[in-house]
Amino acid sequence: MAQIMVGPTLADREIERYHVLDRAPGRDLQSLVDLIAEICDVPHAAINMITSTQQHQIVTAGFERSICARDDSMCAIVMGEPHPIVVADASADDRFKDNPFVTGDIGSVRFYASAPISTPDGVPIGRLCVFDDVSRELTAVQQQALGVMASQVMDLLELRYRSQALEDSLQELTRAQDELRRSNEHLTQFAGQVSHDLRTPLTAILVNAELLATEPAVEGDVEVAQMVGAVEQAGHRMDAMIQQMLSFAQQGGRLRSAEVDLRRVLDLVLTDVAPLVGHSEAAIEVGELPRVPGDADLLYSVLLNLVTNAIKFVRPGQHPRVTVGAERRGRTWRVTVDDDGIGVAPDRREAMFELHTRVTHDLPGHGIGLATARRIVEAHGGTIGMDGTASGGTRVWIDLPA
């Protein structure tokens, strides 16, 4: 006949969760067992944990701890009893008279009393028992003490479990803090390297723009002079943004906050993307934008990324239409950038804010912009997300504290 394997019971899992079988009993439980033996005026007491197969005497008074089969356990016989059990003479009780702890095969118990040890969810996992080799009775006060002490056993086990869980959480938090510190160190190193690599060509652009601005041919042509001036101004803004991004990384994502006029920030963005707007023949509509607490240079980089994306990801044969606006929502401002471009599938919108995720591999990009935007927005105490629009395009929204 094939052997039937029975999995662990709920009580088994609870006993394992409290680690009562693989850890030292401790002075608190030992003192409790010694006390109940003295209160009940008996030579022997024990905390018995009952698994699906065994009885484990985890703490004892008057004898050495041991393990026996569940079938031999006296406590297992009354595991379903929710109240204290008192038996003056076990040899005369039908439940216990054939038990090996009574018959002499293991012991010669006559008096036996126990109270349930149950988890806060009501799962019985063992019993607190007292016993003697001679018959006796318990007073009402002694019976009450037995029940109270059994509850105290569970309270101590629960306290141990909660304390260990707290200690584990603190250790995990410490590990997370160490990992965050290492991550910030790597971010600072990366930001420093990127800043250096970007500044080298940017310095050349600024120097050449300044020299070009002094050329007679440029000075004599107002339109060309304006274009060169725009290049120089954009270069200086780029230099400031690089420095601010480096500071942001060095400070572990902490901001230097001041009141920011988002309309002024967006005007700078539109100035810098003017060539892209002209080349794509994009139509950009701007509504009222608020003043918010934040870092102007970092918010400039966020809006620059969103507006650039809205212009770039256009449907073939169409000219981009971009709308930027804002609305008050309680204690926050929601700033939106809408486009009528190729859109993003609903199941990919959240992933677009992860590093190196791109709308499509057919268009240039590295999938860094939106991930950086999220980091900056969250550093401002805000959130960023993405929805679809009625035209099938994309709405990227930013919620910032007012």
pLDDT digit of tens for each residue in the chain (402 aa)? 334 444 578 899 999 998 889 888 889 999 999 999 999 999 999 999 999 999 999 999 999 999 999 999 999 999 999 999 999 999 999 999 999 999 999 999 999 999 999 999 999 999 999 999 999 999 999 999 999 999 999 999 998 888 888 888 888 888 877 776 776 666 666 666 666 666 667 767 777 777 777 888 877 888 888 877 777 777 777 777 677 666 665 555 556 778 999 999 999 899 888 888 888 899 999 999 999 999 888 898 899 989 988 998 888 888 999 999 999 999 999 999 999 989 888 988 888 887 655 555 454 444 567 888 888 898 889 999 999 988 889 999 999 998
Domain co-membership, 265 together with 379: yes
CA distance 358 to 365: 7
- The Cα–Cα gap between 98 and 303 comes to 83
Of 133, 166, 199, the one marking the end of a domain is 166
What is the residue-wise DSSP string for 244-311?
HHHHHHHTTS----EEEEHHHHHHHHHHHTHHHHHHHT-EEEE----EEEE-HHHHHHHHHHHHHHHH
Residue 181 lies inside a defined structural domain of this protein: no
Residue 279 sits in the same domain as residue 136: no
What pLDDT shows up at residue 4? 41
State the Cα–Cα distance between residues 294 and 36, nearest whole angstrom: 65
| Burial class of residue 176 in the structure, from the number of CB atoms within 10 Å of its CB (0-12 exposed, 13-18 middle, 19+ buried) | exposed
User: How far is residue 156's CA from residue 163's CA, in Å, rounded to a whole number?
Assistant: 10
pLDDT the model gives residue 178: 78
- Residue 331 in any domain: the answer is yes
201 lies in some domain = no
The residue segments making up the domain with residue 32 are 10-166
Name the phi and psi angles at 74, rounded to 5: -75, -40
162 and 17 part of one domain: yes
pLDDT at position 397 is 95
Please state the φ and ψ torsions of residue 215, each to the nearest 5 degrees.
-70, 135
Residue 231 belongs to a domain: no
Number of structural domains (the chain) is 2
As given in the structure block, the two tokens for residue 261 are 């006029």
Please choose, from the candidates 346, 231, 245, the residue with its C-alpha nearest in 3D space to the C-alpha of residue 302: 245
User: Do 135 and 15 share a domain, yes or no?
Assistant: yes
Same domain, yes or no, for 268 and 365? yes
Any idea what the CATH number is for the domain that residue 272 is in? 3.30.565.10
Judge if 155 and 24 occupy the same domain. Answer: yes
Classify residue 3: in a domain, yes or no. Answer: no
Cα angle: 90, vertex 94, 97; to 5 degrees? 45
Residues 6+ apart with CB under 8 A from 192: 246, 249
CATH classification of the domain holding 111: 3.30.450.40
Q: Using the 3D structure, point to which of 166, 190, 215 is the last residue of a domain.
A: 166
Q: Does residue 1 lie within any of the structural domains? A: no
Note whether 151 and 14 are same-domain residues.
Answer: yes
The DSSP secondary structure of 76-87, one letter per residue, reads HHTTT-SS-EEE
Residue 183 covered by a domain: no
Say if 37 falls within a structural domain: yes
- Buried b / exposed e across 370-400, counting CB within 10 Å, b at 16+? bebbbbbbebbebebbbeeeeeebbbbbbbb
Q: What is the pLDDT of residue 375?
A: 84
Show which of 166, 182, 204 is a domain's final residue. 166
